[in-house]
Amino acid sequence: MTPKPVPTPTTATTRTYADPREPIDRTWLRRQTRHLRLWRRFLAQAIVRETHYRAHFVTTLAVGVVQLGLALVPILLLYGYTDDMRGWSQAQVLTLVGVYQVVTGVLAAFVAPNLQRMTTYITEGELDVVLVRPVSSQFYLTLRWINVAELGNVVSGLVLLVFGLVRSGASPNPLQIAQALVLAACGTVLLACVWCAMSFAAFWIQSVNPIGMLYTSLAESGRYPLVFFPFAVRTFLTFVFPVAFASTLPAQALHGGVGRLPVVGGVVLAAVAVTLVRLQWRRGLRSYASASS
């Protein structure tokens, strides 16, 4: 049976939802482009919303700058008592904090506003409304809300990063910059995955608000080079709570390269993490009993 041709609307008529329409093209590539288009709309909407709450925008920027300054206090004090900690100079640590600030800024802008809603999504049945929409529910729940103002932290992070590089006299070549970019991207994906995994626990334990706090507290360890920690903690921060990829490794790459192994390892770890979170989401959905219907 051939589908009836869809009548093209003339300029005079208005299309309504009752009109026949093209079926959604479900090929893999089309699905991705559709999601990308959707995400662009989310971003546009977030920007418009930000223009409505200008005071909120300015406060977020100001708080971000003050918090960055605060985060530097321990490092400045530390380097008041020593010039070199396990091979890291103050300028190099500043670069590292810059990288960390960029990665956490990206997460705070694109992922955090969503995961903070996880508890209400699941306990108040908002998830039901998401599930009936023709988009990937995981995509929608992880990336729907964007907090544009947090991107200010990315900018201040970049400034700090460049400042640290200039102070330490490092001049990374294009390969090293590429390494740092790949590692930082892996770090962002890995941290987002860990955070998602912790938040999706809401399927089983309902309230996950304090888990967000636990994540933020643990992520503070990213403000210091890995070698500042004992060996066992270093292993933990590389493989279990992989904050190493969000700060130490990219900073190392910028200060003279890290070789191929960490870069390949990071990409593999990120791929594994994404797959695991995807599986966890499917398992969670199966155990979800709906809260509103």
Partner 1 sequence: MNRLLLTVRRNLRIMRRMTAAHVAMSLTYRGEWVVFMAANISVPIISLLIWRTALANGAQLPVDEHYLTTYFVLLSIVTMATSSWMTGFLSRDIRLGRLSSWMVRPASLLLDFVANNLSEKILKTCALVPMVGVLWWIFRDSMSVPSGPGHLAVFAVSVVLAAVLVFTIDILVAALTFWMDDVTALHQARLIIANVLSGAIVPLALMPDWSRGFVDLQPFRYTVSFPVEIVAGHLSNTEILTGLGVQLGYVVGFGVLARLVWAAGIRGYSAVGA
Which residues contact partner 1 by CB under 8 A? 59, 63, 66-67, 70, 73-74, 77-78, 80-82, 85-86, 205-207, 209-211, 213-214, 216-218, 220-221, 224, 228-230, 233
**Nearer residue to partner 1 within complex by CB, 39 or 50:** 50
Smallest separation, CB 141 to partner 1 (Å): 21
Sign of torsion over alpha carbons 177, 182, 183, 184:
positive
Residues 156, 174, 247: CA angle, nearest 5 degrees: 40
Smallest separation, CB 41 to partner 1 (Å): 30
Which residue, chain included where needed, has tokens 């609307």? 9
Smallest separation, CB 136 to partner 1 (Å): 29
Smallest separation, CB 40 to partner 1 (Å): 32
Amino acid, single-letter form, for residue 23: P
**Nearer residue to partner 1 within complex by CB, 204 or 239:** 204
**Nearer residue to partner 1 within complex by CB, 42 or 228:** 228
What is the distance between the alpha carbons of residues 40 and 253, in angstroms, rounded to a whole number? 32
DSSP structure string for 30-98: HHHHHHHHHHHHHHHHHHHHHHH-HHHHHHHHHHHHHHHHHHHHHHHHHHHH-SEETTEEHHHHHHHHH
Smallest separation, CB 78 to partner 1 (Å): 6
**Nearer residue to partner 1 within complex by CB, 162 or 240:** 240
Please give the structure tokens belonging to residue 161: 């990063």
**Nearer residue to partner 1 within complex by CB, 99 or 226:** 226
What is the distance between the alpha carbons of residues 255 and 40, in angstroms, rounded to a whole number? 35
